[in-house]
Structure 1
């Protein structure tokens, strides 16, 4: 997918962008390091086997970070400012899973430069995360 910026003047309802990423053990370890979230359900297979997940899972916010990547790199892209995000975690993401993160424009307030995006992450046919983002989109006009 292209990277860069789509200015508010060019954004339309229904526009979509996505990325695909395979979640690796290294991703989970790095996220634990950066976030300081060392919950053993993410890092210790023997511990995680005895949980409702019956094995290790990625941090939910690691998966949510893929939504941020689509917004910050593609739609609207560089110069976008996050104003809010809702998230519902519906299923676990495991090491080795290929995640599809997708955003779709559902509302535009041109006067305030605000864009509402439907957000979802999927592993195969399973929606693992869904939510909505509100962002301040870049503009070609100077205020």
Structure 2
């Protein structure tokens, strides 16, 4: 069991934060493109990326933004809304750190969170605002067993 899952099984509260890091590869983008059917040439063609003013091909924004789902899955977050602000491109070989912070917990475990994703130069590449439902006691017991 991961430390993120362990914390979730004990219960989550406002201010809890989780951090993960991932380096993105061209293979990641190719697989994501096949699954999502997003074949925008900015992800596959150097010439097209250059014509857009980029220094090379870039990762799909939702591939990078998907880092929040790794954390959400570990804590048993049931998403009801996600809002992304894509600030900078992520190039193949970039390492991105995602900090996911629970900003509000309401009655019936409804919650809000913010995620800030930064590249290896500590520049924000994505900001996200999330709404969802945190696991209740029964779900936390099951999380502890998985």
What range describes the TM-score normalised by the shorter chain of this pair? 0.7 to 0.9
Would you say the 8 A contact 2:12–2:134 is kept in 1?
no
Would you say the 8 A contact 1:67–1:120 is kept in 2?
no
- Stretches of 4+ aligned residues off by more than 3 angstroms: none
Across the two proteins, how many residue pairs are aligned to each other? 136
Q: CA deviation at 1:47?
A: 2.1
Structure with the higher helix share, 1 or 2: 2
Superposition RMSD in Å? 1.7
Match of 1:88 in 2: 85
What is the CA deviation profile of residues 4-29 of structure 1, one whole-angstrom value per residue up to 9, with x for unaligned ones?
2615x721221110110000011000
**Counterpart Cα distance in 2 of 1:35 and 1:131:** 20
For residue 118 of structure 2, the aligned residue among 113, 116, 122 is 122
Match of 2:35 in 1: 34
Name stretches of at least 5 consecutive residues in structure 2 with no aligned partner: 140-146
**Counterpart Cα distance in 1 of 2:112 and 2:72:** 11
| Alignment TM-score, normalising by the size of structure 1 | 0.87
Name stretches of at least 5 consecutive residues in structure 1 with no aligned partner: none
- Secondary structure (helix, strand or coil) at the match of 1:93 reads coil
Match of 2:104 in 1: 107
Query: Does the alignment pair 1:98 with 2:98?
Result: no
**Counterpart Cα distance in 2 of 1:125 and 1:101:** 11
Would you say the 8 A contact 1:70–1:101 is kept in 2?
no
